[in-house]
Chain A
């Protein structure tokens, strides 16, 4: 590799790390981008409208860059405003997809389901949520506080009260648990 190539490669890596905690919202057309931009700016989010990276093959010529961790909160805001994106991907690796593998552990009376770093455990008979573990974002203790001790039917959806990617992972575990246990 040439000297210039090495420099370019190093710069590229530095740029990746710089934006690694950012994600991109992809929309069908430009007017949707403008609408979403207005919604998010009015709520005080630090966002940036920009051209899409080459890996993105869907949507229009503009995307919105947002803080990755707060994906769940931002998606909820856009959904409420009727401005949901087509797709959301990490800036550093646009081809990455959310986890879609679930692991479960049957304790007899209890069932635990894990999605990514989040684990949800219920009493199979009463459908009571008895524990939430894993995760690292600050909404995890909050979600646990709001959900543990309630039945699956009565507990709030993590999607409605969570804010981060850990909250999103818990939502996936919650949906998988619902699929397995609720009629």
Chain B
């Protein structure tokens, strides 16, 4: 079983935990529907689609309302510090959460560190994936190395590479956010210990990397419009989470997920005005194709 931790943009949405389901264009947790626009609901919806194909159980969600005031995030952080220590007993006997993905949470270093302490006390340490606000907090705290995967886009990679920047808003200008500088930025992020064990850099060409550098790139199919569509990074993180939750190794999951996300986008024939739910609908077809390609040994990645 895997868990996803995040927020929804509804101020009075309560803190809810439980299995998450997809009903039409909404996710449903504790019988509370949330429309899938972008953010954590999009991540969860994509993960659910993958679980359907792989015949896996529903993901476990920790959700709270937060519109950027940070109040909901801090309530959830506090809840996690108590709950994660007990999660081994609640999920399938003897398994616990194999993976926890942290997502749109207000970056708060102090609370981030407390959550990490709680994870260290779990019977078995889960694979840790961080994206969005929680990835910012992980970098700011100086504890990026504790994570198995970060999924930055090029602007966020520049932030990881800038050892001084406390937020992407303050990334220094000389660390230009240009696609052709990705290898250099990856080296710099690792040099200052601001990267997770693995990175999936989302861009025109998706790059899967570790401390040794870029290990694989995925660049087809190309849908330029995807960059403009809010939530396409979230769906990618959702696909990876579910694949890792099924037992797949992190780097392989990142590589396959990048191809699946691109293919789902391709099937949706997107324009910059396309909404992410239209892409999510195509994930099952895309995943089936990529898994079949993978079995046949068809080459769609460049390995280094």
**Counting CB contacts under 8 A, is A178 at the interface?**
no
| Interface: B107 (CB within 8 A) | yes
Contact B271 A110 (CB under 8 A): yes
What's the minimum C-beta distance from B269 to chain A, rounded to whole angstroms? 14
Minimum CB distance partner of A92 in chain B: B166
Cβ proximity bits A45-78 to B, threshold 8 Å, 1 near / 0 not: 0000000000000000000000111100100000
Residues of B within 8 A of A135 (CB): 132
Contact for B106 among A93, A123, A138, CB less than 8 A: A138
Instruction: Tell me, yes or no, whether A152 is within 8 Å of chain B by CB.
Output: no
User: In the complex, A119→B224 CA distance in Å?
Assistant: 14
Contacts of B156 in A (CB 8 A): 117, 136
**B217 CB–A CB distance under 8 Å:** no
Q: How large is the interface on A (under 10, 10 to 19, 20 to 34, 35 or more residues)?
A: 35 or more
Chain A residues with Cβ below 8 Å from B18 are none
Q: Residue B227 contacts which of A67, A109, A119, A164 (CB distance < 8 angstroms)? A: A119
Residue on B nearest A120 in the bound complex, by CB: B228
- A85 surroundings in chain B (CB, below 8 A): none
Q: Which chain B residues border A117 with CB–CB below 8 Å?
A: 153, 155-156, 159, 168-169
Distance A133 CA – B38 CA, assembled complex (angstroms): 9
B155-207 residues at the A interface, CB under 8 angstroms: 155-156, 159, 164-173, 176-177
The answer, among A110, A136, A141, A164, for a CB contact under 8 Å with B131, is A136
Cβ-defined contact, B228 with A98, below 8 A:
no
A35 adjacent to chain B (CB < 8 Å): no
- When the two chains form their complex, are residues B67 and A163 in contact, meaning their CB atoms are under 8 A apart? yes
CA distance A92 to B135 in the complex (A): 18
| A20 and B224 within 8 A (CB) | no
Cβ of B213 under 8 Å from chain A: no
Nearest CB in chain B: distance from A165 CB, A: 4
**A101 / chain B contacts, CB cutoff of 8 Å:** 173, 176-177
Q: Does A25 contact B (CB under 8 A)?
A: no
Query: Residue B140 at the A interface, CB < 8 A?
Result: yes
The A-contacting residues of B in range 54-74, CB under 8 angstroms, are 66-70, 72-73
Contacting pair B232 A139 (CB below 8 A):
no
At the interface, yes or no: B7 with Cβ under 8 Å from chain A?
A: yes
Do residues A97 and B37 form an inter-chain contact, with CB atoms below 8 A?
no
The number of inter-chain residue pairs (CB within 8 angstroms) is 191
Q: Is the CB of A138 within 8 A of B67?
A: yes
Q: How far is the CB of B68 from chain A (nearest CB, A)?
A: 2
CB-contact partner of B155 in A21, A67, A134, A139, under 8 A: A134
B8 near A141 with CB under 8 A, answer: yes
- Please encode chain B, from 132 to 144, with 1 for each CB lying within 8 Å of some chain A CB and 0 for all others: 1111110011100
Known: A133-B227, A163-B68. A97 touches B109 (CB 8 A): no
Docked complex Cα distance between A162 and B132 (Å): 16
Distance between B130 CB and nearest chain A CB, rounded to angstroms: 10
Contact at A138–B68, with CB atoms within 8 Å? yes
B166→A20 contact, CB < 8 A: yes
Given contacts A73-B68, A142-B68, A163-B67, contact A116 B169 (CB under 8 A): yes
Q: Can you identify 18 A-B contacts, CB atoms within 8 angstroms?
A: A68-B167, A69-B107, A90-B167, A92-B164, A97-B170, A99-B171, A100-B173, A101-B176, A110-B271, A116-B171, A121-B272, A130-B273, A131-B274, A137-B132, A141-B40, A142-B9, A144-B38, A163-B67
B interface residues (Cβ-Cβ under 8 A, vs A):
7-9, 37-40, 66-70, 72-73, 104-110, 131-137, 140-142, 153, 155-156, 159, 164-173, 176-177, 224-225, 227-233, 271-275
Q: Which 3 A-B residue pairs are closest in the complex by CB-CB distance?
A: A139-B68, A136-B132, A163-B68
